[in-house]
Structure 1
């Protein structure tokens, strides 16, 4: 894949060597994300952060990543604050805003909308999530987290055993992650969901065609035994026809410390793309896991900044210039932010 000047719209764009390239650059970004060094490699560059669907982590993470590379961020949140509310097309919006920006991140509730926008853009567009379709940067940060967590156990992504639990029909994070895992060898995937919220058949078929061992189940306890990763997802209530329909499935699969102790291996890593639903009738990932050292959800969010910094550095072709435009930060090493 040629990163420079490219849009990042789908995991389908990536080969295994492309993923490894992103991870290698993400490793290089760690001292900047940790404020041990400062770089101004994107000084004067502008990111258009366009989020037409609610977001906290993804929006702020992309913005922080661009800031940490020295760039500035301009945000549009919600349809009501954009000209789209006045009937402007995605084509016109893309033509205009790409004249104001050096890169654009977009989230939109309709599948395929970000690709439609990118087709008219004059600058690289990164998909921040398009409906229930894909979330490529989340899949990359998830796999980067898996890589780092397994490395601590002397393991690699090949021969990974993972259980994905929850709303697999509408959860775009698991859709993209499954496609990414298809690039690896001898991976075992257990898909745990209600029958009505199963992983789309075409994604299951893609994994099996790639040689992955895939099992589908509605039994949580037996499915999370003997896996390296339990990846939990919330019910995507915003994708359902009604709140009542979503409530039928909320709280169906709950992972808490007692379930973990009884059924998981001692080093099983717990992941979640967040937000986790902390309401009493949900709690797919209970708060009593917060002190479990294998809970990796906040390490995931930290890793998201690294991966998104890497994507910006690659698409804007500044990887080799980052160190040249950097310096140590004395106030950090002196303890100001420790």
Structure 2
């Protein structure tokens, strides 16, 4: 695809070569994300950060990524703090705020809303999550994490074995990740969920049409026994019709160190898009996994900054200019990010 000036709304925009381009640029962002170098390639540029649904990691990660490239961030959080609360349409909001920004990162609870906003925007828009639909930058950082975790074992994404566990019906991160995996070869996907929270059928069929093995199961232990990655998700309670309905599924699939030791291969990587639900009634990833070296959830969040820096650099067409606007820093303490 042509990145410069483009919206990033869905992973279906990408070919495999596009994903590899993003990952190559993300690799080059590492010294800047780790504060060993400083670049001002986006000096004077403004990110409009518009998050109309609760977010911590994604919102701050987008902002940090833009700051690390030398740009500035202007934020709107929550409907109550925006003109939408006064009845303004997405069209009008887009026309106005795109006049104040060079690029916009947006999250909205309604599926398709970010694309609707982007259609009226005068600047590129990056989808930070639209309801239960998609979360393209999360899927990219997840796949980038998988690539890096497997590279240390001499493996690539082709031939990946992955179990996705939890709320697969409403979990937009797994929807987007499955769509990205369709670009690769010989992937085995085990989809572990309650019957009522199964992966949408069209996504399962897309996996199979791509030549992948896609199995559906309700048995956690058997499903995680022979995989490279266990990707856990929380129950998306905000998308259920009631709290009582969500509570029916909370805590159904829990992974702790005992289950991991008894059923997983020794080097199985544990991933989660976060936040993980640490309440006693949930604990889809138990705290006793925190010292497990294969728990990659915080490496995922670090990788999110790299990937989002890469997306900004590509969309604003400065990927080849980052180093020219850079300098080394002398306040960096070796080992700070180890």
TM-score greater than 0.5 by the shorter chain = yes
- Note closer, same or farther for the CA distance 1:95–1:337 as it changes in structure 2 (3 Å cut): same
Which residue in the other structure is 1:96 paired with? 96
Which residue in the other structure is 1:115 paired with? 115
Distance, in Å, in 2 between the alignment partners of 1:337 and 1:18 is 29
Distance, in Å, in 1 between the alignment partners of 2:288 and 2:330 is 38
How does 1:59-98 map onto structure 2 within 5 Å?
59-98=59-98
Which residue in the other structure is 1:301 paired with? 301
Secondary structure of the residue aligned to 1:73 is strand
Distance, in Å, in 2 between the alignment partners of 1:134 and 1:176 is 6
Residue 155 of structure 2 corresponds to residue 150 of structure 1: no
CA displacement at 1:333 relative to structure 2: 4.9
Residue 214 of structure 2 corresponds to residue 243 of structure 1: no
Q: Is the 8 A contact 2:34 2:337 kept in 1?
A: no
Secondary structure of the residue aligned to 2:153 is coil
CA displacement at 1:57 relative to structure 2: 0.1
Secondary structure of the residue aligned to 1:230 is strand
Distance, in Å, in 2 between the alignment partners of 1:167 and 1:335 is 37
Residue 55 of structure 2 corresponds to residue 55 of structure 1: yes
Query: 1:76-129 deviations in whole A, cap 9, x for unaligned?
Result: 000000000000000000000000000000000000000000000000000000
Which residue in the other structure is 1:163 paired with? 163
Which residue in the other structure is 1:266 paired with? 266
Q: Is the 8 A contact 2:65 2:305 kept in 1?
A: yes
CA displacement at 1:136 relative to structure 2: 0.1
TM-score (norm 1): 0.99
CA displacement at 1:152 relative to structure 2: 0.7
Secondary structure of the residue aligned to 1:128 is strand
Distance, in Å, in 1 between the alignment partners of 2:129 and 2:46 is 20
Q: Is the 8 A contact 2:145 2:300 kept in 1?
A: yes
CA displacement at 1:336 relative to structure 2: 8.2
Secondary structure of the residue aligned to 2:331 is helix
Secondary structure of the residue aligned to 1:48 is strand
CA displacement at 1:337 relative to structure 2: 8.1
Distance, in Å, in 2 between the alignment partners of 1:164 and 1:268 is 13
Query: 1:116-147 deviations in whole A, cap 9, x for unaligned?
Result: 00000000000000000000000000000000
Unaligned runs of 5+ in 2: none
Secondary structure of the residue aligned to 2:25 is helix
Residue 201 of structure 2 corresponds to residue 211 of structure 1: no
Secondary structure of the residue aligned to 1:231 is strand
Aligned residues: 338
Query: 1:289-315 deviations in whole A, cap 9, x for unaligned?
Result: 000000000000000000000000000
Which residue in the other structure is 2:288 paired with? 288
TM-score (norm 2): 0.99
Runs of 4+ with deviation above 3 angstroms: 333-338
Which residue in the other structure is 1:174 paired with? 174
Secondary structure of the residue aligned to 1:179 is helix
Query: 1:31-83 deviations in whole A, cap 9, x for unaligned?
Result: 00000000000000000000000000000000000000000000000000000
Which residue in the other structure is 1:133 paired with? 133
Secondary structure of the residue aligned to 1:178 is helix
CA displacement at 1:331 relative to structure 2: 1.2
Secondary structure of the residue aligned to 2:119 is helix
